[in-house]
Chain A
Amino acid sequence: MTADTAIAAHGGQTLRRSTRYRTLRRFTRHRLAMFGLVVILLLVLACAVGPSLVPFDQFQLNMRARFREPFAGAHLLGTDELGRDMLARLLMAGRISLTIGFCAMVIAVTVGTVVGTVAGFYGGAIGTVLMRFVDAVLCFPTIFLLLTLAALVSPGIVTITLIIALTAWMEVARVVQGQIRALRERDFAVAAEAMGAPDRWIMFKELLPNAVAPIVVAATLIIARAILLESYVSYLGYGIQPPVASWGNMLEKAQQYLTTAPWLALLPGLMITLAVSSFNFLGDGLRDALDPRSELS
């Protein structure tokens, strides 16, 4: 017994460290994921503190300084058709996009996790009905759903966030349902049942903590999609309304000046691409790092 204890205590420590270490190393070796992480951190930092460092206000018009080119003069990234500072507008738009993306993700993950857990745990009739509903909603092209809803309700940050969350929770529900169903068969879940644990206990204390990794991955990918959707809807004029800036509505306004002032379109386009692909890269990296199967390869 004592020898067994000593060996295991020692071996266990090493094992834990090395598993965590290997997961971390798989992640840090993922170049794109690291790139994504750095870009996201920079974007968040810039959007948080940037606007107070830029000497111009996003709404400040200046008819004598319209269409100023970037990197030439007082306005670092130039000005738009009303002489507003592009850098200030891009950063404020970034605040909105990132906030919408993050909030939509939190709502979608919460709803999706609860629905997926309940469906996966009960299986049978409840599970089937829930998942059939999810499948039906998933079949419907997200963008049409989004536009239909956006046309019906008055656009704004809160409504756009809710609408995006509404179209994103199903995928989380799918992922979580599959995980919970598999985990339910494991002995530790049977042990909880044998103890007489209430369903809530088994679902949320025993099973769900073991499904965190795929939820984190899904969450990251949802932020990417939410930012893209918000831009798209705003671009089509159903999203964030001017004069409040959003990358999407900046892009829309810039269309008319594509030949004369291309930076008006390029800059918000670049921000969207950068933000969306960074979150996607991060999600891919997390998926690879957290997937125990990649341990084998």
Chain B
Amino acid sequence: MTASPPPVLEVDGLVKHFPIGSGLFGRSRDKVRAVDGVSFSVAKGEVLGLVGESGSGKTTVGRTVLRLDTPTDGAIRFLGNDITHLTRSQLRPFRRQMQLVFQDPFSSLNPRMRVDRIVGAPLAIHEPGMAAAERTQRVEDALAMVGLPRNSGERFPHEFSGGQRQRIGIARALMLRPELLVADEPVSALDVSIQAQVVKLLLDVRAKLGLTILFIAHDLAVVGHVSDRVAVMYLGKLVEIADTRTLFRDPRHPYTEALFSAAPVPDPTIRRQRIVLTGDIPSPINPPSGCAFRTRCRYALPACAAEVPPLREVAKGHLKACLRDDLELVPWQDAPRDPARPPAVATPAP
């Protein structure tokens, strides 16, 4: 048996702190703990979903693994290469193999550039010797692949709708056939009616090109549809990670349950008990001691404040960071119940 290929992306104890303000002598004292010790890996061809409320650090993870930010600590390995400390010029050869799709379709395209130049930019940068005719052809093919009209190249970004602009961004990201795509909430800025089309496009190109995707989102329905595995993030840390079916049927972390419960129900005739996520996500400048979720967790015990619960394996490939193993949590709204487990009854925290 041959050794399996290295994961496309391996992240080990990733930490990213942003200094804020500046103390005496220009040295800042406070820092935003945007990412505070995150480890995961993404296998070739896999789609890993990364979910969590706004402000939990998902974008920072996505940008740091692409080395658009320099990590404060931890290690990032891309296709087996340690890219944690590479300089900008050392990173350049890796850039063509890892790409990013942005959340905001309006800020992600240069308003002063024609679409053919936007989509052709990766070619102009990495294959400067390519003949103009071939480049034009490649741009047209890329635009066709994402379902845009042939003449789109002659126009400017503001002549397109949000959904179309997102397609342009995807065409640009796929121009050089990258190995890894980080999609940072690629549909959350779009109309609901357009979201499904763009998700379908991503799944189509994934199948066609064998892409590996880190799919960031806060919409659980979308993540569940797209991902092979899902990682749940809260205040800079992963709190649970499992393959999608397992996570949706059998969540083990109270935060995952609360996210499931907060999701809108597609069928309004279904009534279910809402577990309200009270209050806002705490500030990542001063996160709560112990389990960061304890201020909003309805199962919290005094012990939860004492120490940070480690992310530990509770079943094969299923990890969670919660002290309590005695909880029966409510699964995703329409996930079929596992006959082995009775319908969950939540026990409120004392």
Cβ contacts B115-129/A at 8 Å (1 or 0 each): 000000110011000
Task: Answer whether A12 and B155 are a contact pair too, CB < 8 Å, given A4-B194, A187-B107, A190-B100.
Answer: yes
Whether B194 pairs with A188 at a CB distance below 8 angstroms is no
Instruction: Please name all residues of chain A whose beta carbon is closer than 8 Å to the beta carbon of B110 when the two chains form the complex.
Output: 188, 192, 206, 209-210
Report A217 CB to chain B, min CB distance, Å: 17
Contact of A5 with B by CB under 8 A = yes
Whether B155 pairs with A195 at a CB distance below 8 angstroms is no
Most buried by A among B112, B126, B194: B112
Whether A4 pairs with B161 at a CB distance below 8 angstroms is yes
Instruction: Please name all residues of chain A whose beta carbon is closer than 8 Å to the beta carbon of B293 when the two chains form the complex.
Output: none
Report B105 CB to chain A, min CB distance, Å: 9
Instruction: Please name all residues of chain B whose beta carbon is closer than 8 Å to the beta carbon of A191 when the two chains form the complex.
Output: 100, 102, 108-109, 169, 172
Report B189 CB to chain A, min CB distance, Å: 11
Whether A195 pairs with B121 at a CB distance below 8 angstroms is yes
Name which of B3-11, B89-97, B234-242 contacts chain A: B89-97
Q: How far, in angstroms, from A9 to B156 measured CA to CA in the complex?
A: 11
Report A261 CB to chain B, min CB distance, Å: 55
Q: How far, in angstroms, from A187 to B147 measured CA to CA in the complex?
A: 23
Q: How far, in angstroms, from A4 to B166 measured CA to CA in the complex?
A: 12
Task: Answer whether A1 and B95 are a contact pair too, CB < 8 Å, given A15-B158, A191-B100, A198-B125.
Answer: no
Instruction: Please name all residues of chain A whose beta carbon is closer than 8 Å to the beta carbon of B155 when the two chains form the complex.
Output: 12
Contact of B163 with A by CB under 8 A = yes
Task: Answer whether A13 and B95 are a contact pair too, CB < 8 Å, given A8-B164, A191-B102.
Answer: no
The residue in chain A whose Cβ has the minimal distance to the Cβ of B100 is A194
A side interface size, CB within 8 A: 29
Cβ contacts B279-319/A at 8 Å (1 or 0 each): 00000000000000000000000000000000000000000
Please pick, from A5, A11, A13, A192, the residue contacting B121 in the complex, using a CB distance under 8 A: A192
Contact of B149 with A by CB under 8 A = yes
Whether B125 pairs with A201 at a CB distance below 8 angstroms is yes
Contact of B159 with A by CB under 8 A = yes
Q: How far, in angstroms, from A194 to B155 measured CA to CA in the complex?
A: 23
Report B2 CB to chain A, min CB distance, Å: 32
Across the A-B interface, give the 9 residue pairs with the lowest CB-CB distance, nearest first.
A196-B95, A12-B159, A8-B161, A187-B108, A209-B112, A187-B107, A188-B110, A196-B92, A194-B100
**B contact residues vs A (CB 8 Å cutoff):** 63, 66, 68, 91-96, 98-100, 102, 104, 107-113, 121-122, 125-126, 147-149, 155-156, 158-161, 163-164, 169, 172, 194, 197
